[in-house]
């Protein structure tokens, strides 16, 4: 009887994972990246909307491209749009198109990015920067595929798969009135969270090998490799710029050093901030922190930032209130009373509401004048009036 040789399950699983990564173009050996690959394979064949979140530079666009390439739409266009790079005044025209003469400078009819992506996929990077007015139209496309070009009353339809990405906390943006709640709920049907590189140091060797080989080949350089201690040092670094920073530093090392073998001393010369590296021993040692500890540190830093912002905001509000007090010119303004001890007991929202209400009262509801006195835009004032029920 013929017996088949035993199969090394661990090796077979690792090989399967490697094949998956090569097909999708996603690098990384960590558990987190393997889980992301599994999610990509599940959602890619569908048309479900996907939200990708993570810090700047973690590779959100790479995951978006992988979803498109593994989908039935792969032979159609993938249109990438950076919402944060388009001025607010023209973003609706860029996304949805416009008719000839619809505004100054519209000399001809123009298709927007959604029409150009018809049948394919549109990747909206930095979706958290999308203005509220454009969010309404974007939600309509997500719901039924319909949109209006700027200057047109004719509803058009597109068949587009939407992938969005952001480095912002959209839930917090919703609480502050900067992002629509209904759009947030619609987008987060599938949320792929990419951890920062500092939380997955096991992914760094694969990035180093891939990037160094690509950079060397592109520039006609023979790359001699990297030492173990240099790799450990790279794994110890916190990488605030994530994968993008890693690639940039490797590019500098490979090109400027002519492809010679990278050692620990060479790495140290290129790292911008060695305070992020553990050097307690002669050889560099990876910083090993639990996920819980790393998350606690991130939360602590965020709370400290918030505390600083609150102090600055309180100072700003008090300054504006003092300016308002000093600007009283008419008898009618004598009704304003500023009591510092009373203000110190109010929350920021209460102080802001009180200040806006008094400005509107003194200027007989003239919102333009009130906004100018408060040193804010009219749009912000209208939003605050609605938020505080002052309308």
> Residue 357: which pLDDT band, with cuts at 50, 70 and 90?
confident
pLDDT at 4: 34
Largest CA distance in the chain: 108
What number is the average pLDDT over the span 178-199?
94
pLDDT value at residue 310: 62
DSSP 223-238: ---B-HHHHHHHHHS-
DSSP string, 161-192: EEEEEESS-HHHHHHTTSS-HHHHHHHTTEEE
Alpha-carbon distances of 191 from 107, 123, 166, 241, rounded to whole Å: 40, 14, 11, 22
Residue 5 pLDDT greater than 70, yes or no: no
Determine the pLDDT at residue 115: 95
Domains in the chain, start-ordered, CATH in brackets? 10-101+108-195 (3.40.50.300), 198-276 (1.10.8.60), 291-387 (no CATH)
**For the segment 319-338, what is each residue's pLDDT rounded down to a tens digit?**
566 555 555 544 443 344 44
304 vs 289, residue with greater confidence: 304
Q: Provide the residue count of the chain.
A: 391
CA separation for the pair 208, 234 (Å, rounded) = 9
Give the count of alpha carbons within 13 A of 178, CB side only: 11
**Residue 35, pLDDT above cutoff 50:** yes
> How many alpha carbons lie under 13 Å from residue 29 in its C-beta half-sphere?
13
For residue 290, CA distances in Å to 38, 182, 199, 296 come to 24, 35, 9, 10
Confirm whether pTM is higher than 0.75: no
Q: Specify the pLDDT at position 324.
A: 59
Given a cut of 50, whether residue 134 has pLDDT beyond it is yes
Between residues 11 and 80, which one has the greater pLDDT?
A: 80
Say which residues have a Cβ less than 8 Å from residue 245's Cβ, sequence separation at least 6: 57, 239
390 or 278, which is more confident? Answer: 390
User: What Cα–Cα distance (Å) separates residue 62 from each residue in 69, 154, 169?
Assistant: 10, 36, 20
For 113, the 3-state DSSP assignment is helix
Residue 58 is given by DSSP the state S
How far apart are the C-alpha atoms of 93 and 267, rounded to whole Å?
A: 46
CA dihedral for 31, 32, 35, 36, sign (positive or negative): negative
| CA nearest to 240, candidates 214, 210, 264, 275 | 275
State the pLDDT at residue 305: 54
Q: What percent of the chain has pLDDT over 70?
A: 74
The mean pLDDT of 103-132, rounded to a whole number, is 93
């Amino acid at each position: 009887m013929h017996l088949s040789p035993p199969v090394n399950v661990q090796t077979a699983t690792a090989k399967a994972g490697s094949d998956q990564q090569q097909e999708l173009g996603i690098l990384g050996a960590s558990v987190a990246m393997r889980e992301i690959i599994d999610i990509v394979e599940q959602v890619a064949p569908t048309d479900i909307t996907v939200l990708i979140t993570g810090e700047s530079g973690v590779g959100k666009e790479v995951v978006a491209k992988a979803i498109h390439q593994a989908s039935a739409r792969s032979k159609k266009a993938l249109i990438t749009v950076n919402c944060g790079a388009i001025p607010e005044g023209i973003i609706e025209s860029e996304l949805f198109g416009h008719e000839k003469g619809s505004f100054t400078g519209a000399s001809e009819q123009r298709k927007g990015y959604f029409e150009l992506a018809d049948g394919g996929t549109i990747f909206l990077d930095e979706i958290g920067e999308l203005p509220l007015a454009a969010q309404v139209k974007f939600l309509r496309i997500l719901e039924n595929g319909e949109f209006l070009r700027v200057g047109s009353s004719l509803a058009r339809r597109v068949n587009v798969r939407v992938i969005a990405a952001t480095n912002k906390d959209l839930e917090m943006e919703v609480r502050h009135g900067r992002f629509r709640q209904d759009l947030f709920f619609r987008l987060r049907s599938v949320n792929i969270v990419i951890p920062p590189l500092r939380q997955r140091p096991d992914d760094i060797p694969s990035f180093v090998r891939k990037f160094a080989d690509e950079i060397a080949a592109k520039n006609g350089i023979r790359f001699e490799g990297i030492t173990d201690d240099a790799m450990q040092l790279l794994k110890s670094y916190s990488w605030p710029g994530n994968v993008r920073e890693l690639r940039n530093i490797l590019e500098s090392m490979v090109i400027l050093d002519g492809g010679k073998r990278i050692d620990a001393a060479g790495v140290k010369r290129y790292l911008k901030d060695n305070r992020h590296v553990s050097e307690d021993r002669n050889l560099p040692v990876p910083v090993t922190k639990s996920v819980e500890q790393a998350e606690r540190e991130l939360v602590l830093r965020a709370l400290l930032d918030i505390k600083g912002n609150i102090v600055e905001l309180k100072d700003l509000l008090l300054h504006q209130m003092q300016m308002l007090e000093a600007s009283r010119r008419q008898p009618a303004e004598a009704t304003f009373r500023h009591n510092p001890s009373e203000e110190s007991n109010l929350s920021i929202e209460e102080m802001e509401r009180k200040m806006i209400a008094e400005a509107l009262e003194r200027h007989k509801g003239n919102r333009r004048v009130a906004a100018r006195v408060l040193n804010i835009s009219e749009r912000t004032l209208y939003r605050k009036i609605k938020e505080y029920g002052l309308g």
